[in-house]
Structure 1
Protein backbone atom coordinates (compact mmCIF):
# COMPACT_ATOMS: atom_id res chain seq x y z
CA UNK A 1 0.00 0.00 0.00
CA UNK A 2 1.16 3.53 -0.85
CA UNK A 3 0.60 6.15 1.86
CA UNK A 4 0.65 9.90 1.31
CA UNK A 5 0.37 12.46 4.10
CA UNK A 6 -1.66 15.43 2.86
CA UNK A 7 -1.06 18.54 4.98
CA UNK A 8 -2.04 22.15 4.48
CA UNK A 9 -2.13 25.63 6.00
CA UNK A 10 0.74 25.36 8.45
CA UNK A 11 0.98 29.17 8.50
CA UNK A 12 4.46 29.82 9.86
CA UNK A 13 4.05 33.08 11.72
CA UNK A 14 0.87 31.73 13.31
CA UNK A 15 1.95 28.10 13.59
CA UNK A 16 0.92 25.70 16.33
CA UNK A 17 4.30 24.33 17.36
CA UNK A 18 2.79 21.39 19.24
CA UNK A 19 0.85 20.42 16.10
CA UNK A 20 3.94 20.74 13.91
CA UNK A 21 5.93 18.57 16.32
CA UNK A 22 3.13 15.99 16.37
CA UNK A 23 3.01 15.83 12.57
CA UNK A 24 6.81 15.60 12.25
CA UNK A 25 6.94 12.83 14.87
CA UNK A 26 4.21 10.93 12.99
CA UNK A 27 6.11 11.25 9.72
CA UNK A 28 9.34 10.03 11.31
CA UNK A 29 7.58 7.10 12.97
CA UNK A 30 5.42 5.96 10.05
CA UNK A 31 7.57 6.94 7.03
CA UNK A 32 4.88 7.75 4.43
CA UNK A 33 5.87 7.50 0.79
CA UNK A 34 5.55 11.27 0.38
CA UNK A 35 4.10 14.46 1.86
CA UNK A 36 1.78 16.64 -0.23
CA UNK A 37 1.58 20.22 1.05
CA UNK A 38 -1.32 22.23 -0.41
CA UNK A 39 -0.33 25.77 0.41
CA UNK A 40 -0.28 28.55 2.98
CA UNK A 41 3.08 27.71 4.43
CA UNK A 42 3.28 31.23 5.85
CA UNK A 43 1.05 33.84 7.44
CA UNK A 44 2.35 37.01 5.75
CA UNK A 45 4.84 35.73 3.14
CA UNK A 46 7.77 37.12 5.10
CA UNK A 47 11.26 35.80 4.38
CA UNK A 48 11.80 34.43 7.87
CA UNK A 49 8.48 32.57 7.68
CA UNK A 50 9.52 30.90 4.42
CA UNK A 51 12.90 30.01 5.88
CA UNK A 52 11.25 28.40 8.92
CA UNK A 53 8.81 26.50 6.70
CA UNK A 54 11.62 25.24 4.45
CA UNK A 55 13.67 24.07 7.42
CA UNK A 56 10.66 22.24 8.89
CA UNK A 57 9.74 20.54 5.60
CA UNK A 58 13.34 19.48 4.95
CA UNK A 59 13.46 18.08 8.49
CA UNK A 60 10.68 15.62 7.64
CA UNK A 61 13.24 13.66 5.59
CA UNK A 62 10.60 12.46 3.13
CA UNK A 63 9.81 13.42 -0.49
CA UNK A 64 7.74 16.62 -0.36
CA UNK A 65 5.82 18.53 -3.02
CA UNK A 66 4.39 21.97 -2.30
CA UNK A 67 1.61 23.99 -3.91
CA UNK A 68 1.28 27.77 -3.44
CA UNK A 69 -1.38 29.32 -1.17
CA UNK A 70 -2.84 32.82 -1.04
CA UNK A 71 -0.99 33.62 2.20
CA UNK A 72 2.26 32.87 0.41
CA UNK A 73 1.91 35.97 -1.78
CA UNK A 74 3.34 39.27 -0.41
CA UNK A 75 0.70 40.91 1.75
CA UNK A 76 1.98 44.39 2.56
CA UNK A 77 3.96 45.05 -0.63
CA UNK A 78 1.69 45.57 -3.68
CA UNK A 79 4.66 45.91 -6.07
CA UNK A 80 6.15 42.61 -4.95
CA UNK A 81 2.73 40.92 -5.13
CA UNK A 82 2.15 42.01 -8.73
CA UNK A 83 5.70 41.88 -10.13
CA UNK A 84 7.80 39.42 -8.10
CA UNK A 85 5.27 37.44 -6.03
CA UNK A 86 7.38 34.29 -5.64
CA UNK A 87 10.79 35.83 -5.00
CA UNK A 88 10.70 34.80 -1.35
CA UNK A 89 10.10 31.18 -2.31
CA UNK A 90 13.82 30.74 -3.08
CA UNK A 91 14.33 28.71 0.09
CA UNK A 92 11.58 26.33 -1.06
CA UNK A 93 11.96 26.29 -4.82
CA UNK A 94 13.21 22.68 -4.88
CA UNK A 95 9.90 21.57 -3.39
CA UNK A 96 7.49 23.76 -5.35
CA UNK A 97 5.41 21.51 -7.60
CA UNK A 98 8.15 18.89 -7.31
CA UNK A 99 7.38 15.68 -9.25
CA UNK A 100 7.19 12.68 -6.93
CA UNK A 101 8.60 9.34 -8.00
CA UNK A 102 5.78 7.09 -6.79
CA UNK A 103 4.99 4.06 -8.92
CA UNK A 104 1.39 4.15 -10.10
CA UNK A 105 0.61 7.64 -8.73
CA UNK A 106 0.84 11.06 -10.38
CA UNK A 107 0.47 14.26 -8.35
CA UNK A 108 -0.39 17.06 -10.78
CA UNK A 109 -0.32 20.69 -9.53
CA UNK A 110 -3.00 23.28 -10.20
CA UNK A 111 -2.52 26.95 -9.40
CA UNK A 112 -5.60 28.54 -7.77
CA UNK A 113 -4.03 31.75 -6.44
CA UNK A 114 -4.04 35.12 -8.23
CA UNK A 115 -1.92 38.23 -7.86
CA UNK A 116 -4.95 40.37 -8.68
CA UNK A 117 -8.70 39.79 -8.95
CA UNK A 118 -11.68 41.96 -9.88
CA UNK A 119 -13.24 41.54 -6.46
CA UNK A 120 -12.44 42.82 -2.99
CA UNK A 121 -11.33 39.54 -1.42
CA UNK A 122 -8.18 38.37 -3.17
CA UNK A 123 -7.79 35.44 -0.78
CA UNK A 124 -10.43 33.47 -2.67
CA UNK A 125 -9.63 30.98 -5.39
CA UNK A 126 -9.21 31.57 -9.10
CA UNK A 127 -8.40 29.14 -11.93
CA UNK A 128 -7.08 30.89 -15.01
CA UNK A 129 -7.08 29.41 -18.49
CA UNK A 130 -3.30 29.01 -18.54
CA UNK A 131 -3.29 27.25 -15.17
CA UNK A 132 -6.01 24.84 -16.29
CA UNK A 133 -4.23 24.03 -19.55
CA UNK A 134 -1.00 23.36 -17.69
CA UNK A 135 -2.78 20.94 -15.34
CA UNK A 136 -4.56 19.18 -18.20
CA UNK A 137 -1.18 18.81 -19.95
CA UNK A 138 0.17 17.25 -16.75
CA UNK A 139 -2.68 14.76 -16.68
CA UNK A 140 -2.09 13.87 -20.33
CA UNK A 141 1.60 13.27 -19.61
CA UNK A 142 0.91 10.89 -16.71
CA UNK A 143 1.66 7.21 -17.35
CA UNK A 144 -1.40 5.29 -18.48
CA UNK A 145 -3.21 3.60 -15.61
CA UNK A 146 -1.79 5.88 -12.91
CA UNK A 147 -3.93 7.22 -10.11
CA UNK A 148 -4.08 10.96 -10.79
CA UNK A 149 -4.43 13.37 -7.88
CA UNK A 150 -4.54 17.13 -8.39
CA UNK A 151 -2.84 19.30 -5.75
CA UNK A 152 -4.40 22.77 -5.37
CA UNK A 153 -4.69 25.25 -2.55
CA UNK A 154 -8.34 26.26 -2.88
CA UNK A 155 -11.23 23.79 -3.11
CA UNK A 156 -12.58 24.06 -6.64
CA UNK A 157 -16.14 24.00 -5.30
CA UNK A 158 -17.20 24.65 -1.73
CA UNK A 159 -17.89 21.60 0.40
CA UNK A 160 -20.04 22.92 3.26
CA UNK A 161 -17.21 23.94 5.60
CA UNK A 162 -17.43 27.08 7.73
CA UNK A 163 -14.87 28.87 5.54
CA UNK A 164 -15.33 29.12 1.79
CA UNK A 165 -13.08 29.28 -1.26
CA UNK A 166 -15.54 30.77 -3.78
CA UNK A 167 -13.16 29.68 -6.53
CA UNK A 168 -13.90 31.42 -9.79
CA UNK A 169 -13.97 29.02 -12.75
CA UNK A 170 -13.65 26.19 -10.23
CA UNK A 171 -16.68 24.20 -11.35
CA UNK A 172 -15.63 24.47 -15.00
CA UNK A 173 -12.10 23.36 -14.11
CA UNK A 174 -13.43 20.46 -12.06
CA UNK A 175 -15.50 19.19 -14.99
CA UNK A 176 -12.45 19.42 -17.26
CA UNK A 177 -10.27 17.54 -14.77
CA UNK A 178 -12.82 14.74 -14.45
CA UNK A 179 -13.15 14.52 -18.24
CA UNK A 180 -9.36 14.28 -18.53
CA UNK A 181 -9.21 11.36 -16.11
CA UNK A 182 -8.29 12.87 -12.73
CA UNK A 183 -9.46 10.78 -9.76
CA UNK A 184 -9.22 13.30 -6.94
CA UNK A 185 -8.37 16.88 -5.95
CA UNK A 186 -6.38 17.55 -2.77
CA UNK A 187 -6.76 21.05 -1.34
CA UNK A 188 -6.60 23.17 1.81
CA UNK A 189 -7.53 26.80 2.57
CA UNK A 190 -10.69 26.23 4.63
CA UNK A 191 -8.85 24.79 7.68
CA UNK A 192 -11.32 21.92 8.14
CA UNK A 193 -11.04 18.46 6.56
CA UNK A 194 -13.71 17.25 4.15
CA UNK A 195 -14.31 14.64 1.49
CA UNK A 196 -16.95 14.88 -1.23
CA UNK A 197 -17.65 12.57 -4.17
CA UNK A 198 -18.51 15.10 -6.85
CA UNK A 199 -20.41 13.95 -9.96
CA UNK A 200 -19.06 15.47 -13.17
CA UNK A 201 -19.72 14.89 -16.88
CA UNK A 202 -16.51 12.89 -17.19
CA UNK A 203 -17.20 10.78 -14.10
CA UNK A 204 -17.15 11.13 -10.34
CA UNK A 205 -14.11 12.93 -8.91
CA UNK A 206 -13.31 13.03 -5.19
CA UNK A 207 -12.58 16.33 -3.47
CA UNK A 208 -10.43 15.97 -0.35
CA UNK A 209 -9.60 18.90 1.90
CA UNK A 210 -7.00 18.98 4.66
CA UNK A 211 -7.27 20.84 7.95
CA UNK A 212 -4.56 23.03 9.49
CA UNK A 213 -1.53 22.71 11.73
CA UNK A 214 -1.74 26.37 12.75
CA UNK A 215 -3.39 28.30 15.56
CA UNK A 216 -6.10 29.34 13.08
CA UNK A 217 -8.34 26.32 13.63
CA UNK A 218 -12.04 26.33 12.74
CA UNK A 219 -14.26 23.38 13.71
CA UNK A 220 -11.53 20.71 13.80
CA UNK A 221 -8.45 20.41 15.94
CA UNK A 222 -5.08 20.37 14.13
CA UNK A 223 -5.17 17.57 11.58
CA UNK A 224 -3.88 16.14 8.32
CA UNK A 225 -5.08 13.50 5.86
CA UNK A 226 -3.58 10.10 5.22
CA UNK A 227 -4.22 8.97 1.65
CA UNK A 228 -4.07 5.18 1.35
CA UNK A 229 -3.68 3.85 -2.19
CA UNK A 230 -4.19 0.24 -3.22
CA UNK A 231 -4.66 -1.51 -6.56
CA UNK A 232 -4.27 1.44 -8.87
CA UNK A 233 -7.22 3.82 -8.71
CA UNK A 234 -8.56 2.54 -5.37
CA UNK A 235 -7.77 4.98 -2.58
CA UNK A 236 -9.10 6.05 0.80
CA UNK A 237 -8.64 9.22 2.84
CA UNK A 238 -8.35 9.08 6.62
CA UNK A 239 -8.38 12.23 8.76
CA UNK A 240 -5.70 12.13 11.45
CA UNK A 241 -6.59 14.53 14.28
CA UNK A 242 -4.17 15.63 17.00
CA UNK A 243 -5.04 14.08 20.39
Structure 2
Protein backbone atom coordinates (compact mmCIF):
# COMPACT_ATOMS: atom_id res chain seq x y z
CA UNK A 1 0.00 0.00 0.00
CA UNK A 2 3.06 2.26 -0.01
CA UNK A 3 2.69 5.45 -1.98
CA UNK A 4 -1.10 5.48 -1.70
CA UNK A 5 -1.27 8.01 1.11
CA UNK A 6 -2.63 11.32 -0.17
CA UNK A 7 -0.51 14.21 1.09
CA UNK A 8 -3.40 16.65 0.67
CA UNK A 9 -5.12 17.62 3.90
CA UNK A 10 -8.62 16.16 4.14
CA UNK A 11 -9.72 17.37 7.56
CA UNK A 12 -9.28 15.78 10.98
CA UNK A 13 -8.75 12.05 11.42
CA UNK A 14 -10.00 10.17 14.47
CA UNK A 15 -8.26 7.00 15.65
CA UNK A 16 -9.07 4.76 18.58
CA UNK A 17 -6.06 3.09 20.20
CA UNK A 18 -6.96 -0.03 22.19
CA UNK A 19 -4.48 -2.20 24.03
CA UNK A 20 -4.01 -5.11 26.39
CA UNK A 21 -7.50 -6.53 26.01
CA UNK A 22 -6.36 -9.87 27.44
CA UNK A 23 -9.19 -12.17 26.41
CA UNK A 24 -9.20 -14.79 29.11
CA UNK A 25 -9.19 -12.00 31.67
CA UNK A 26 -11.13 -9.39 29.69
CA UNK A 27 -13.44 -6.81 31.20
CA UNK A 28 -16.74 -7.55 29.44
CA UNK A 29 -18.34 -4.26 30.47
CA UNK A 30 -15.37 -2.26 29.16
CA UNK A 31 -15.32 -4.22 25.90
CA UNK A 32 -19.04 -3.67 25.33
CA UNK A 33 -18.56 0.06 25.96
CA UNK A 34 -15.57 0.32 23.60
CA UNK A 35 -17.40 -1.60 20.88
CA UNK A 36 -20.44 0.67 21.25
CA UNK A 37 -18.20 3.76 20.95
CA UNK A 38 -16.68 2.38 17.75
CA UNK A 39 -20.09 1.52 16.28
CA UNK A 40 -21.52 4.93 17.12
CA UNK A 41 -18.56 7.16 16.21
CA UNK A 42 -16.99 5.19 13.35
CA UNK A 43 -13.34 6.25 13.82
CA UNK A 44 -11.17 6.27 10.72
CA UNK A 45 -9.21 3.34 12.15
CA UNK A 46 -8.63 1.26 15.27
CA UNK A 47 -5.07 0.51 16.33
CA UNK A 48 -4.70 -2.39 18.79
CA UNK A 49 -1.25 -2.33 20.37
CA UNK A 50 -0.92 -5.92 21.48
CA UNK A 51 -1.86 -8.47 24.12
CA UNK A 52 -5.17 -9.62 22.69
CA UNK A 53 -5.01 -12.67 24.95
CA UNK A 54 -3.93 -13.68 28.40
CA UNK A 55 -2.26 -17.03 27.74
CA UNK A 56 -2.34 -17.24 23.91
CA UNK A 57 -4.86 -20.09 24.08
CA UNK A 58 -6.91 -21.01 21.01
CA UNK A 59 -10.14 -20.18 22.83
CA UNK A 60 -8.82 -16.74 23.76
CA UNK A 61 -7.78 -16.02 20.17
CA UNK A 62 -11.15 -17.22 18.89
CA UNK A 63 -12.94 -14.79 21.21
CA UNK A 64 -10.57 -11.92 20.41
CA UNK A 65 -10.78 -12.49 16.66
CA UNK A 66 -14.58 -12.60 16.68
CA UNK A 67 -14.71 -9.34 18.65
CA UNK A 68 -12.25 -7.56 16.37
CA UNK A 69 -13.82 -8.77 13.11
CA UNK A 70 -17.18 -7.37 14.22
CA UNK A 71 -15.88 -3.81 14.67
CA UNK A 72 -16.63 -2.75 11.10
CA UNK A 73 -13.74 -0.26 10.69
CA UNK A 74 -10.12 -0.61 9.47
CA UNK A 75 -8.02 -2.32 12.14
CA UNK A 76 -4.33 -3.01 12.60
CA UNK A 77 -3.15 -5.36 15.35
CA UNK A 78 0.28 -5.54 16.94
CA UNK A 79 1.58 -8.72 18.56
CA UNK A 80 2.06 -8.56 22.34
CA UNK A 81 4.20 -10.76 24.54
CA UNK A 82 1.05 -12.46 25.87
CA UNK A 83 0.06 -13.42 22.30
CA UNK A 84 2.91 -15.88 21.74
CA UNK A 85 2.20 -19.45 22.97
CA UNK A 86 3.23 -20.01 26.57
CA UNK A 87 2.87 -23.78 26.87
CA UNK A 88 3.51 -25.06 23.33
CA UNK A 89 7.22 -24.39 22.87
CA UNK A 90 7.27 -25.85 19.36
CA UNK A 91 4.70 -23.31 18.21
CA UNK A 92 6.40 -20.53 20.15
CA UNK A 93 9.64 -21.02 18.24
CA UNK A 94 8.46 -22.27 14.83
CA UNK A 95 4.90 -20.95 14.34
CA UNK A 96 4.40 -18.18 16.93
CA UNK A 97 1.67 -16.34 15.00
CA UNK A 98 -0.33 -19.37 13.84
CA UNK A 99 -3.13 -18.63 16.29
CA UNK A 100 -3.75 -15.23 14.66
CA UNK A 101 -5.00 -17.00 11.52
CA UNK A 102 -8.58 -15.66 11.72
CA UNK A 103 -7.31 -12.05 11.58
CA UNK A 104 -3.92 -12.57 9.95
CA UNK A 105 -4.55 -9.82 7.37
CA UNK A 106 -4.80 -7.29 10.22
CA UNK A 107 -1.67 -8.39 12.08
CA UNK A 108 1.22 -5.95 11.77
CA UNK A 109 -0.54 -4.42 8.78
CA UNK A 110 0.09 -0.86 7.64
CA UNK A 111 -2.95 1.39 7.45
CA UNK A 112 -2.94 4.18 4.86
CA UNK A 113 -5.32 7.06 5.53
CA UNK A 114 -5.54 10.51 3.90
CA UNK A 115 -2.20 12.15 4.64
CA UNK A 116 -1.34 9.59 7.33
CA UNK A 117 0.29 6.17 7.47
CA UNK A 118 0.21 3.88 10.52
CA UNK A 119 3.33 1.73 10.31
CA UNK A 120 3.95 -1.38 12.48
CA UNK A 121 7.06 -1.96 14.56
CA UNK A 122 7.54 -5.42 16.06
CA UNK A 123 8.88 -5.36 19.63
CA UNK A 124 7.92 -8.89 20.69
CA UNK A 125 10.33 -11.81 20.25
CA UNK A 126 10.13 -15.57 20.70
CA UNK A 127 13.16 -15.57 23.00
CA UNK A 128 15.84 -13.20 24.26
CA UNK A 129 19.34 -14.46 25.00
CA UNK A 130 19.98 -11.34 27.09
CA UNK A 131 17.40 -12.15 29.78
CA UNK A 132 14.56 -14.32 31.02
CA UNK A 133 11.55 -14.06 31.18
CA UNK A 134 10.90 -12.77 27.67
CA UNK A 135 8.08 -10.36 28.45
CA UNK A 136 9.82 -7.05 27.82
CA UNK A 137 10.59 -5.52 24.45
CA UNK A 138 13.34 -5.97 21.89
CA UNK A 139 13.52 -4.09 18.61
CA UNK A 140 15.69 -6.35 16.48
CA UNK A 141 17.77 -4.94 13.64
CA UNK A 142 15.42 -6.64 11.18
CA UNK A 143 12.29 -5.20 12.79
CA UNK A 144 13.74 -1.68 12.81
CA UNK A 145 14.92 -1.95 9.20
CA UNK A 146 11.46 -3.09 8.06
CA UNK A 147 9.77 -0.25 9.90
CA UNK A 148 12.16 2.39 8.53
CA UNK A 149 11.83 1.04 4.99
CA UNK A 150 8.04 1.29 5.24
CA UNK A 151 8.31 4.88 6.47
CA UNK A 152 10.81 5.85 3.76
CA UNK A 153 8.54 4.46 1.02
CA UNK A 154 6.00 7.22 1.62
CA UNK A 155 6.05 10.59 -0.12
CA UNK A 156 7.64 13.49 1.72
CA UNK A 157 5.11 15.24 3.92
CA UNK A 158 3.19 12.08 4.85
CA UNK A 159 2.40 12.06 8.56
CA UNK A 160 3.60 8.83 10.20
CA UNK A 161 2.42 7.06 13.33
CA UNK A 162 4.30 3.96 14.45
CA UNK A 163 2.41 1.20 16.28
CA UNK A 164 4.23 -1.16 18.66
CA UNK A 165 3.44 -3.16 21.78
CA UNK A 166 6.26 -2.17 24.14
CA UNK A 167 7.21 1.40 25.00
CA UNK A 168 10.63 2.18 23.53
CA UNK A 169 12.27 3.35 26.75
CA UNK A 170 15.48 1.32 26.92
CA UNK A 171 16.66 1.90 30.50
CA UNK A 172 14.75 2.68 33.65
CA UNK A 173 16.05 6.04 34.83
CA UNK A 174 16.25 5.39 38.57
CA UNK A 175 18.45 2.28 38.40
CA UNK A 176 19.42 1.71 34.77
CA UNK A 177 17.44 -1.54 34.49
CA UNK A 178 17.06 -2.78 30.91
CA UNK A 179 13.51 -2.37 29.53
CA UNK A 180 13.31 -2.45 25.71
CA UNK A 181 16.47 -3.64 24.00
CA UNK A 182 17.61 -1.31 21.20
CA UNK A 183 14.96 1.24 22.23
CA UNK A 184 17.31 4.23 22.32
CA UNK A 185 18.57 3.69 18.78
CA UNK A 186 15.02 3.11 17.58
CA UNK A 187 13.72 6.32 19.11
CA UNK A 188 16.51 8.32 17.50
CA UNK A 189 15.84 6.76 14.09
CA UNK A 190 12.11 7.48 14.31
CA UNK A 191 12.66 11.03 15.55
CA UNK A 192 14.99 11.60 12.62
CA UNK A 193 12.16 10.69 10.27
CA UNK A 194 9.81 13.15 11.98
CA UNK A 195 7.39 10.46 13.15
CA UNK A 196 4.50 12.27 14.86
CA UNK A 197 4.06 9.62 17.53
CA UNK A 198 4.73 6.05 18.66
CA UNK A 199 1.68 4.18 19.93
CA UNK A 200 2.25 1.37 22.46
CA UNK A 201 0.64 -0.62 25.25
CA UNK A 202 2.05 -3.17 27.74
CA UNK A 203 1.92 -0.87 30.79
CA UNK A 204 -1.88 -0.92 31.38
CA UNK A 205 -1.92 2.79 32.23
CA UNK A 206 -2.14 5.52 29.58
CA UNK A 207 0.64 8.05 29.04
CA UNK A 208 1.62 10.83 26.66
CA UNK A 209 5.32 11.60 26.98
CA UNK A 210 8.02 13.21 24.87
CA UNK A 211 11.44 11.57 24.66
CA UNK A 212 14.41 13.77 23.78
CA UNK A 213 16.81 12.15 21.32
CA UNK A 214 19.90 13.41 19.43
CA UNK A 215 17.68 13.58 16.32
CA UNK A 216 14.97 15.62 18.04
CA UNK A 217 11.89 14.97 20.19
CA UNK A 218 9.71 11.88 19.83
CA UNK A 219 6.20 11.66 21.21
CA UNK A 220 5.31 8.36 22.91
CA UNK A 221 1.62 7.60 23.48
CA UNK A 222 0.51 4.63 25.57
CA UNK A 223 -2.98 3.19 25.92
CA UNK A 224 -4.44 1.63 29.04
CA UNK A 225 -6.14 -1.74 29.30
CA UNK A 226 -9.61 -3.10 28.54
CA UNK A 227 -9.01 -6.06 30.83
CA UNK A 228 -9.42 -6.81 34.52
CA UNK A 229 -5.62 -6.52 34.91
CA UNK A 230 -5.84 -2.86 35.90
CA UNK A 231 -2.91 -0.96 37.37
CA UNK A 232 -3.53 2.57 38.65
CA UNK A 233 -6.36 3.56 36.29
CA UNK A 234 -9.77 2.20 35.29
CA UNK A 235 -10.16 0.42 31.90
CA UNK A 236 -9.68 2.86 29.04
CA UNK A 237 -8.72 3.45 25.44
CA UNK A 238 -7.14 6.42 23.68
CA UNK A 239 -9.00 8.67 21.27
CA UNK A 240 -6.46 10.31 18.98
CA UNK A 241 -7.47 13.22 16.77
CA UNK A 242 -5.03 14.37 14.10
CA UNK A 243 -5.87 17.73 12.60
CA UNK A 244 -3.27 19.26 10.31
CA UNK A 245 -0.03 19.25 12.28
CA UNK A 246 -1.73 18.74 15.64
CA UNK A 247 -2.31 15.50 17.52
CA UNK A 248 -4.64 15.43 20.54
CA UNK A 249 -5.02 12.45 22.89
CA UNK A 250 -7.97 11.75 25.19
CA UNK A 251 -7.83 8.80 27.61
CA UNK A 252 -11.49 7.77 27.49
CA UNK A 253 -12.77 5.67 30.36
CA UNK A 254 -15.99 4.48 31.93
CA UNK A 255 -15.33 6.35 35.17
CA UNK A 256 -15.16 9.76 33.41
CA UNK A 257 -11.74 10.50 34.90
CA UNK A 258 -10.02 13.46 33.23
CA UNK A 259 -7.19 12.58 30.86
CA UNK A 260 -4.53 14.39 32.90
CA UNK A 261 -5.53 12.30 35.92
CA UNK A 262 -5.37 9.06 33.94
CA UNK A 263 -1.90 9.47 32.45
CA UNK A 264 1.27 8.39 34.22
CA UNK A 265 4.34 10.65 34.06
CA UNK A 266 6.95 7.99 33.34
CA UNK A 267 7.18 4.44 31.99
CA UNK A 268 7.41 1.69 34.64
CA UNK A 269 9.23 -1.58 34.18
CA UNK A 270 6.18 -3.64 33.26
CA UNK A 271 2.53 -4.24 34.04
CA UNK A 272 2.96 -6.53 37.02
CA UNK A 273 1.23 -5.70 40.32
CA UNK A 274 1.96 -4.45 42.84
CA UNK A 275 4.16 -1.68 41.53
CA UNK A 276 7.18 -0.74 43.57
CA UNK A 277 6.58 2.30 45.80
CA UNK A 278 8.81 4.50 43.64
CA UNK A 279 7.38 3.40 40.29
CA UNK A 280 5.04 5.81 38.49
CA UNK A 281 1.30 5.66 39.01
CA UNK A 282 -1.41 7.97 37.77
CA UNK A 283 -3.07 10.58 39.98
CA UNK A 284 -5.99 8.14 40.27
CA UNK A 285 -3.54 5.85 42.03
CA UNK A 286 -5.70 2.77 42.66
CA UNK A 287 -3.08 0.03 42.36
CA UNK A 288 -4.40 -3.50 43.05
CA UNK A 289 -2.38 -5.82 45.26
CA UNK A 290 -2.65 -8.69 42.81
CA UNK A 291 -4.19 -9.70 39.49
CA UNK A 292 -7.43 -11.66 39.31
CA UNK A 293 -6.63 -15.38 39.02
CA UNK A 294 -6.23 -16.87 35.55
CA UNK A 295 -7.77 -20.29 34.95
Normalization by structure 2: what TM-score?
A: 0.78
Residue of structure 1 in register with 2:89 after alignment: 78
Residue of structure 2 in register with 1:52 after alignment: 63
User: Which of 157, 163, 168 is matched with 2:169 structurally?
Assistant: 157
Residue of structure 1 in register with 2:225 after alignment: 212
Q: 1:47 to 1:66 in 2, by over 3 A?
A: same
**Moved beyond 6 Å, runs of 4+:** none
Instruction: Please report how far the alpha carbon of residue 158 of structure 1 lies from its aligned counterpart in structure 2 after TM superposition.
Output: 6.8
Aligned length: 239
In the aligned structure 2, how far is the partner of 1:100 from the partner of 1:221? 29
Q: 1:158 to 1:3 in 2, by over 3 A?
A: farther
Name the SS of the counterpart of 2:181 in structure 1. coil
**In 2, are the aligned partners of 1:12 and 1:53 still within 8 Å (CA)?**
yes
Residue 140 of structure 2 corresponds to residue 128 of structure 1: yes
In the aligned structure 1, how far is the partner of 2:226 from the partner of 2:104? 22
Residue of structure 1 in register with 2:253 after alignment: 241
User: Which of 89, 105, 116 is matched with 1:105 structurally?
Assistant: 116
Residue of structure 2 in register with 1:6 after alignment: 17
Residue 242 of structure 2 corresponds to residue 229 of structure 1: yes
In the aligned structure 2, how far is the partner of 1:236 from the partner of 1:209? 13
Computed over aligned residues only, the root mean square deviation of the Cα atoms, in angstroms, reads: 1.6
Question: Unaligned stretches of 5+ in structure 2?
Answer: 1-11, 256-295
**In 2, are the aligned partners of 1:165 and 1:190 still within 8 Å (CA)?**
no
Residue of structure 2 in register with 1:21 after alignment: 32
**In 1, are the aligned partners of 2:225 and 2:237 still within 8 Å (CA)?**
yes
Q: Which has the larger share of helix? A: 1
Name the SS of the counterpart of 2:112 in structure 1. coil
Residue of structure 1 in register with 2:287 after alignment: none
Instruction: Please report how far the alpha carbon of residue 101 of structure 1 lies from its aligned counterpart in structure 2 after TM superposition.
Output: 3.3
Residue of structure 1 in register with 2:186 after alignment: 173
Instruction: Please report how far the alpha carbon of residue 97 of structure 1 lies from its aligned counterpart in structure 2 after TM superposition.
Output: 2.1
Instruction: Please report how far the alpha carbon of residue 104 of structure 1 lies from its aligned counterpart in structure 2 after TM superposition.
Output: 0.7
In the aligned structure 2, how far is the partner of 1:24 from the partner of 1:159? 36
**In 2, are the aligned partners of 1:154 and 1:189 still within 8 Å (CA)?**
yes
Normalization by structure 1: what TM-score?
A: 0.94
In the aligned structure 1, how far is the partner of 2:25 from the partner of 2:191? 35
In the aligned structure 1, how far is the partner of 2:147 from the partner of 2:114? 20
For residues 130-178 of structure 1, what are the alpha-carbon distances to aligned partners after superposition, in whole Å with 9 as ceiling and x for unaligned? 0000010011012321211100000001798xxx981011111111111
